[in-house]
Each structure stands twice: as C-alpha cells, then as structure tokens.
C-alpha cells in the first residue's frame, strides 16, 4: 500500500508495508518543490500545524495552504530483509561518511514509564514488540499516549519510526514536549493483529523529551513502539 504525504522540506514520499512481509512496498518518486495543489488522498495527508496550536486542525483539503511543518513523514523503512536475488555478487558499496553522532534508541508504548491517559491501556498482540500495544488512544482528550523520557544527545530532527496496528486508516496528532508538531492519518495495517510502521521526522530537544499521540475527536491507532535514529 502506498500513500503520499505532504512535506515542505523536500521529501514527498511515504509508503507503508506489513512488518516482515515480502518486499512489496513501493515508493513513489520524490516530487520537486514547490508543492503544487494536486489532490491527494485524505487518508495520507500530513498537515502542518502552526506552533502552539492547542487543538486539532480541520481536515486537510487539496487547496489548503501548507506552512512549513515542524514534523514530516519520510519513507517507510521495512524490517531488514534480503534484497532481491542477484546473478552475481553486488560490488562493494562506496564507503559513506558515518554520521557525526550515530544514535539509536527504542521505546515501547506500553512501558510503565509512559503516561497512558484515560481509557488507554496495554493489551496483548502477538505481532507486537514485547507482545503488547497500547489500545484505545483517541476519541477524547483524555485518551492519549505520552512517551516519557525520550532522550537524545543533541537538539535536531530525528527519524521516529512508529510501529502501530490499525485495521482502518486513523488520524492522530503528534505533540513534542506538549506542542503539536504534526497530524497524520496512519494508513491501515493489514488487519487488527499485524503491525505496520511509518517513519516521521520530528524535532527534538537535547535531553529528555515527551512524544504524545492523541486524537480528541476520533479513535487513533493502537501504538506498539517507537525507534529513533538520526
Ligand atoms: Ca510494544
């Protein structure tokens, strides 16, 4: 399943794939900016929010003027899997300069360190990391999931890969340290028992951060885990 996301920073591609499935995910070619108001599926729109916006914005429309988002969606990176078979070994890849500060961290949604507001609660799913997801996020302001202590060494924009389960497309907002940075409609996972993932680009402060998922008016996905890299 392939979706298109809006991002003003250059990458306009998002795709989604079942975890561990054959390499069926496809990516759309990157589109040049500036963005032209071509209609896109509402189920795949990442919408920029003005800084400090306290409430969920109206549903996006193709004619909506997009401010530069603080957060954005980038290509989904599936779990490691063998590449397509080759008739001969691939030549060694050219050495790429290592990031100045390699970084990787993972956080389970169901961690007791997190804040599970309102009706949200961890429930078992065999396909989920650590066997649990946080369900019943959204459909009211109290039902939020807040990852606490998401710690990074330097301020900047990080890749945040979000694993979730949602048998239908569902929207949710992302708040960093209490401030709304983006809203995303998470594409449907294969079913209500299979994990999917999208990778977001989110701005984080040095030290501990909170990353909150919420939807004050409709149900959000069930969240499994987040993985940070840069
Ligand atoms: Ca989990």
Structural domains of the chain, ranges and CATH numbers in brackets: 2-57+66-77+102-229 (2.60.120.260)
Ligand 1 centroid to residue 199 C-alpha, Å: 16
Look at residue 142 and tell me whether its pLDDT is greater than 50: yes
Asked if 145 and 139 touch (Cβ cutoff 8 Å), the reply is no
Nearest to 219 by CA among 125, 131, 120, 81: 120
Q: What tokens were used for 202?
A: 């989110």
Q: Say which residue the tokens 């759309």 belong to.
A: 28
Question: If we measure between CA atoms, which residue out of 110, 99, 80 comes closest to residue 159?
Answer: 99
**What are the phi and psi torsion angles at 201 (to 5°)?**
-110, 115
Least confident of 42-46, 192-196, 205-209, 219-223: 42-46
Mean pLDDT value across the chain? 74
What average pLDDT does this structure show over 171-186?
A: 97
Per the model's pLDDT, the better-predicted residue between 72 and 101 turns out to be 72
Q: Is the peptide bond before 34 cis (omega within 30 degrees of 0)?
A: yes
Measure 176 CA to ligand 1 centroid, in angstroms. 20
Average pLDDT over residues 110-132: 98
pLDDT class for 75, splitting at 50, 70, 90? very low
Q: What is the pLDDT of residue 102?
A: 83
25 CB-near residues (< 8 Å, 6+ apart): 1, 2, 15, 16, 17, 76, 78
CA–centroid distance, residue 86 to ligand 1 (Å): 35
**146 alpha carbon to ligand 1 midpoint, in Å?**
14
Q: Is the pLDDT higher at 93 or at 132? A: 132
CA 132 to ligand 1 centroid distance, Å: 4
Q: Output the CA 99–ligand 1 centroid distance in Å.
A: 28
Triad 77, 22, 219: Cα angle to 5°: 60
**Distance of CA 222 from the midpoint of ligand 1 (Å):** 10
Tell how far the Cα of 60 is from the centroid of ligand 1, in angstroms: 30
Residue 112: pLDDT band (50, 70, 90) is very high
178 Cα: distance to centroid of ligand 1 (angstroms):
22
Q: Ligand 1 centre and the CA of 105: distance in Å?
A: 14
């Amino acid at each position: 399943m392939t979706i298109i996301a809006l991002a003003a920073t250059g990458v306009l591609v998002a795709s989604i794939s079942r975890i561990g499935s054959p390499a069926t995910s496809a990516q759309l070619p990157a589109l040049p900016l500036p963005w032209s108001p071509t209609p896109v599926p509402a189920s795949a729109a990442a919408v920029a929010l003005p800084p400090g916006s306290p409430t969920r914005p109206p549903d996006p429309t193709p004619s909506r003027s997009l401010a530069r988002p603080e957060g954005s969606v980038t290509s989904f990176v599936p779990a490691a899997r063998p590449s397509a078979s080759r008739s001969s070994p691939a030549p060694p890849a050219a050495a790429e300069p290592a990031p100045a500060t390699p970084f990787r961290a993972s956080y389970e949604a169901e961690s007791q360190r997190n804040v599970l507001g309102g009706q949200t609660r961890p429930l078992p799913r065999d396909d989920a990391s650590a066997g649990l997801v946080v369900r019943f996020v959204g459909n009211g302001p109290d039902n939020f999931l807040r990852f606490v202590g998401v710690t990074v060494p330097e301020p900047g924009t990080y890749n945040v890969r979000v694993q979730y389960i949602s048998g239908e497309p569902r929207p949710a907002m992302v708040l960093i340290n209490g401030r709304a940075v983006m809203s995303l409609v998470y594409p449907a996972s294969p079913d209500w028992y299979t994990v999917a993932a999208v990778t977001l680009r989110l701005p984080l402060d040095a030290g501990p951060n909170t990353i909150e998922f919420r939807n004050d008016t409709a149900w959000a996905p069930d969240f499994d885990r987040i993985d940070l890299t840069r």
